[in-house]
Structure 1
Amino acid sequence: MPPLPARLELNGHAAITGLELFPALGGYGHFTAMQVRGGRVRGLDFHLARLDAATRELFGVELSGERILAHLRHALGDDSGENDDRDGTTRDASVRINVFSPDGSAEPPAGVEPEISVLLTVRPPYEMPAGPLTLCSVPYQRPFAHIKHVGGFAQGHYIKLVERRGFDEPLLVGEGGLIAEGAITNVGFIQGDAVVWPQAPMLLGIGMQVLQRELSAADVPQHHRRVLLDDLAAFDGAFVTNSRGIATVRRIDELDIPLDAPLLAHVLDRCAQAPWDAI
């Protein structure tokens, strides 16, 4: 099968000239990124809720799930919503959905109803790197961390810096060594029979939300509390997760993290068994 060509769609239509995309290159907007497999997405409701909540907060208008689904089906070549196998339907892909103001402004002129544009980028599917991974702590927390907003220069730069040092991903850490999240993941820890999630400014990632739902269904205890770098030696394991999947962590900075906790294997299995939602 030939490689999937990259393409852009704006408001359900192919963006040909690119002129209408200039506002999307600015620093005000938000997005979600999802993996499509077999015409399905894990945590679809979480993606739709994220897009609507951020649109309301940033632009003061709603963004309906119906509009997003219509654009998504069109971008994947399936306007029917049935995800059949006819020619032109993309079954597996990475999709990024950006939301922004068509004129690039954060606030429209007085008396003007806010408008938003929805840009879809369809690319070949991505997978979570094979673990176990290594994390390097960096002194950074994302501003307005609860929003998956555009303008992630610091995260991207830290990724390059830690990769040059031989690590797989930055671990974002605040004042006093407070652990928040990975640069493009959420991080979780194993302690005995429970999963511990850091309590800090962070994005509630889609992979994290899906896994929390699956662990709750399996009656696995989950705790949210402040986790410091100095606390890491007390944990029995660690993992990172995002919409691409999940991977174990074998080292954070110079500290080796155990890989043999029984609950860690169970967490990976629960993630693998999470259902995929029809688009």
Structure 2
Amino acid sequence: MTTPPATPVTTPDGELPPLHIEVDGEPAADPDLLATLMSGYGHFTAMQVRGGGVRGLGPHLDRLDRATRELFGRGLDGGRVRALLAGALAAAGRRDASARVYVYEGARTVVTVRAPYPVDRTPQALKSVAYWRPAAHLKHLGGFGQTFHGDAARRAGFDEALLTGGPDAEIAEGAVTNIAFWDGTSVVWPSAPCLAGVTMALLAPRLPSVSRRVTLADVPGFRSAFVTNSRGIAPVSRIDDTVLTVDEELMARVYAAYEAVPWDSVEGA
């Protein structure tokens, strides 16, 4: 019996993988790995590490597993991720760091470690843009739109872009943050499609939270707002031309809720 030829593996855009790759005129040390990284198809999670621990490590590992199952049809063992993260931190000689875990086709896992981001609670000015991330529930790669709009917002004198969509500019999230509004009684998380960030997920049950539809027209009716991501939490001082009060009492409550979250050891118990 004649064995049929193997079907070549293609990249997400249907292209065959390259036979040869050069970087700045030099052959890549591992062309297969570089081709995987260049595909731009995958997902990741970002976290701050302090003293070898991460706030919400479990949700980070769950996120990686869920996204790997959705994108690649297989799970990602949390114990393996922990071991890779611990190994990367040890190799970098760091117990405090900003770390990312990227996952690509075949569950190939890449860990990056850099210096930790300092706490920055500077009030943020946001510029609204008409853009929603595709497959917004995933922390996926290929964030050209986010980077494009974020850079344009900064050139215009803002700190970040605020992603909105639809005819009435429904608010979803920031370019790299979740956003929450304070109505005097509840913390309101927009219900439009967005990434359920780990910091948001840790805060929401510790604050009087609700999720509902929010549009740009609703913004003047809120008392204040704040943004969250893996680097921390900051108040919002302005959205477009609408000035928002920085509610120090609210922010103290939000910071205290977040700081009450325990640090989970990367190395395990």
Same fold (TM over 0.5): yes
SS in 1 for 2:200: helix
- From 90, 93, 110, the counterpart of 2:94: 90
Residue 51 of structure 2: aligned partner: 38
Query: Residue deviations 1:154-197, cap 9 Å, x none?
Result: 11111110101110000000112100000000000111121100
- From 126, 151, 157, the counterpart of 1:135: 126
Q: What are the residue-to-residue correspondences of 1:45-64 with 2, within 5 Å?
A: 45-64=58-77
Q: What are the residue-to-residue correspondences of 1:159-238 with 2, within 5 Å?
A: 159-175=150-166, 176-213=168-205, 215=206, 220-238=207-225
**Counterpart amino acid of residue 35 in structure 1:** Q
Alpha-carbon separation, structure 1, partners of 2:152 and 2:120:
18
Alpha-carbon separation, structure 2, partners of 1:184 and 1:18:
31
Moved more, 128-137 or 38-47: 128-137
Q: CA deviation at 1:128?
A: 5.0
**Counterpart amino acid of residue 228 in structure 1:** T
Structure 2 unaligned spans of 5+: 1-27
Q: CA deviation at 1:27?
A: 2.3
SS in 2 for 1:77: helix
Larger CA Rg, structure 1 vs 2 = 2
Runs of 4+ in 1 over 6 A off after TM superposition: none
TM-score under structure 1 length normalisation: 0.81
Residue 158 of structure 1 pairs with residue 149 of structure 2: yes
Residue 266 of structure 1: aligned partner: 253
- State whether residues 236 and 261 of structure 1, in contact with CA within 8 Å, keep that contact through their aligned partners in structure 2: no
- From 17, 26, 31, the counterpart of 2:29: 17
CA RMSD of aligned residues (A): 1.6
Moved more, 63-72 or 256-265: 256-265
**Counterpart amino acid of residue 34 in structure 1:** M
- State whether residues 127 and 245 of structure 1, in contact with CA within 8 Å, keep that contact through their aligned partners in structure 2: no
Alpha-carbon separation, structure 2, partners of 1:228 and 1:156:
22
Alpha-carbon separation, structure 1, partners of 2:183 and 2:110:
41
Q: CA deviation at 1:149?
A: 0.6
Moved more, 133-142 or 25-34: 25-34
Alpha-carbon separation, structure 2, partners of 1:199 and 1:116:
31
Aligned residues: 237
Alpha-carbon separation, structure 1, partners of 2:229 and 2:209:
18
Alpha-carbon separation, structure 2, partners of 1:46 and 1:25:
27
**Counterpart amino acid of residue 173 in structure 1:** T
Query: Residue deviations 1:223-252, cap 9 Å, x none?
Result: 100000000111111000011110001101
SS in 1 for 2:137: coil
Residue 105 of structure 1: aligned partner: none
Q: CA deviation at 1:28?
A: 1.1
1:74 to 1:200, Cα distance in 2 relative to 1, 3 A: same
Identity %: 50
TM-score under structure 2 length normalisation: 0.84
**Counterpart amino acid of residue 277 in structure 1:** D
Alpha-carbon separation, structure 2, partners of 1:40 and 1:64:
19
Moved more, 28-37 or 262-271: 262-271
Alpha-carbon separation, structure 2, partners of 1:261 and 1:72:
36
Structure 1 unaligned spans of 5+: 1-15, 79-87, 102-114
